[in-house]
Amino acid sequence: MSPFQKILIANRGEIALRLVQAAKEMGRRTVVVYSQADKDSLAVQQAEESYALEGNEVGETYLNVEQILAVAKQCGAQAVHPGYGFLSENADFAERCAAAGLVFIGPKPETIRQLGDKVISKRMADQAGVPVIPGHQGEMPKGKALDQVAAKIGFPLMIKASAGGGGKGMRIVAGPEQLADALAAASREAAAYFGNPEVFLEKYLENPRHVEVQILGDNQGRVVALGERECSIQRRHQKMIEESPSPSIDDKVRRDLAAAAVNLAEAVGYVSAGTVEFIVDEKNRFYFLEVNTRLQVEHPVTEWVTGVDLVKNQILIAEGEGFNFDPDKLTPRGHAIECRLYAEDPENQFLPSEGRVGLLREPARPGVRIDSSLYEGQEILSLYDPMLAKLTVFGKNRKEALEKMSALLRDYILLGIRHNLDFLRFVVDGAAFQSGHYHTHTVAQLMPEFLAGRQEPVPLAVLGALMVPRRAVTTAAAMGPATGTAGSLAGLEGFRNA
C-alpha cells in the first residue's frame, strides 16, 4: 500500500493537534473537522484543510458518522484517525470507514467489537492463559442462585457494566443484603449510558493498583509490549497521574505482565496501538481488567521511555508497513511522569468548571513536554471532557522525574478558571506518591488532608478579569520522540478520554 496522501482527523483539542503534527512530519496532508466552538483551534489552523461540522452537541458533530464520512469523501482522504474518545473504539464506525473505501487507523472492527465487550474480552483473556479476577459473566441468576454465586466469588464484590467504562454502571457491594438493589441500579445506569443493561460480577480487590501495558501490533502478526504504565492515581475511576515504569512492581512481575499482554494480543491478531489493563493486588498478583483498542491519553510517558512514536507507527501500520524500530533492540530508559490538568474543582468533588483563561504560562525546559492548545482569553465550556492539558516530564531515574514534575507544577500558571493544579502539586509532593506505594483509593484517602489545608482563595474569575486577554504564543519543549504542543489561537480544550 502506498503512503496516505491525505488523513482525516476525526477528533479535536490537543490530540487532534498531536495527530496533525505527526502526520505532517511524515509528509502526509491532514484534514480536520471541527464544531463551531472549535473553529479557532490550533489544529484547524495547522491542518492543510478543515471542514465545519453542522450542529452544536457532541452527537451532532464529533459523533456524527454521516457528516464525518461525507467530509472524507468530499476532501478525498484515504484514511481516518479517530484519536481517543469519540469514535475511536466504535466498531461500527470502523466498518463504515472500510465500506466507504477509507482505512481506519486502528485495530480491525472485529477486534474492537470483541475486546470492547468486557464479558467477551475476559473470556478471551482466560482462554489465552491471562489471569482474570474471579467473577460471574453471562445471564445473571436470581434469588438464592444469585446469593450462591456471590458467596462463591466472595464479598466485597463489584458490579460492572459489560459495555461500559469511566465508572458508569459500576457498584461496590459490601454484603449480600445490598446485592439485589445494587444490581438493579447498575443495570439501569448501564442501559442509560451505553444502551446495554448487561452487567457482570467480579471480586473487589482492596487497595489495588492499576497497571497497564502498551502494545503495538503490525500486519505481519508481530506484537510488541512497550513497557507498562502505573495509573493508580484516579478520581471517579478516571486517571489523573501516570508514570512509566511502574514503581510498585519488580522485574519478574514486569516481564509477566508484558508476556500476558502479548499473549492476549496475539490470540486476537491485534493490529495497531492498544493497551491491556490489569489490576494488581497487594501481593503483586495481577488480573486482567480490559483492553483499550486505541491510542491512550497517557501515551507520552511510553514515548519518553521507549523512544517510539506511537502515532507515527499507527500510521505506518495502517499503510501496511511494519514498525519503524527494531523490537529486538528496544531498551527502555529513564522515567516519565504525566499529570492531567483538568478544568474541575477538587474542592467541589472534582466537578467540571467553566471560565475564561486570564493568564497562562507554560514552562519550556529540557525534559518537559506539554500537550496543550490553551491560549489566554480562551473560553472554557463544559461541552467536552474537562481535560485541558497533559504535563509530562522525563528524567534519568524516578527521583529526577519527580523533581522535574514538582518544579513544572510549581511554575505552571493558569488563572481565570478553577482547575486541579493545586491538587496535582499536593499529590506529587506528598509522601504516598513520592514513595511509589500508592493505589486506586489514594486520592480519596488524601482528600481530607488536602481540603483541611486549603485557604479561601481569591475567586479565579476575578483574577482572570483583571488580566488583559491576549492571544500570546506560548511555547513548550518536546525532548521526546513526539512533538509537545502549546499554542495560541486555539479552540476550546477538552476531550472524551479514559
Give the active site residues: 294
CB atoms within 10 A of CB 256: 16
- Angle, CA 384 vertex, CA 210 and CA 171 arms, to 5°: 40
Q: How far apart are CA 226 and CA 323, in angstroms?
A: 12
Torsion on CA atoms 255, 260, 263, 265, rounded to nearest 10: -110
Contact, 491 vs 373, CB < 8 A?
Answer: yes
Q: At what angle do helices 109-116 and 118-127 cross, to 10 degrees?
A: 100
Contact, 51 vs 75, CB < 8 A?
Answer: yes
Alpha helices in 246-356 (DSSP H): 251-267, 299-306, 310-318
* Cell numbers found for residue 475: 511555547
Chain centre distance of CA 487? 21
Of 341, 322, 402, 417, nearest to 367 by C-alpha is 402
> Which residues contact residue 273 at a Cβ distance below 8 angstroms, ignoring those fewer than 6 apart?
106, 214, 215, 216, 294, 295, 296, 299, 310, 313, 314
Contact, 483 vs 18, CB < 8 A?
Answer: yes
Q: In what order do the strands lie in the sheet with 135-136?
A: 135-136, 199-203, 157-161, 171-173
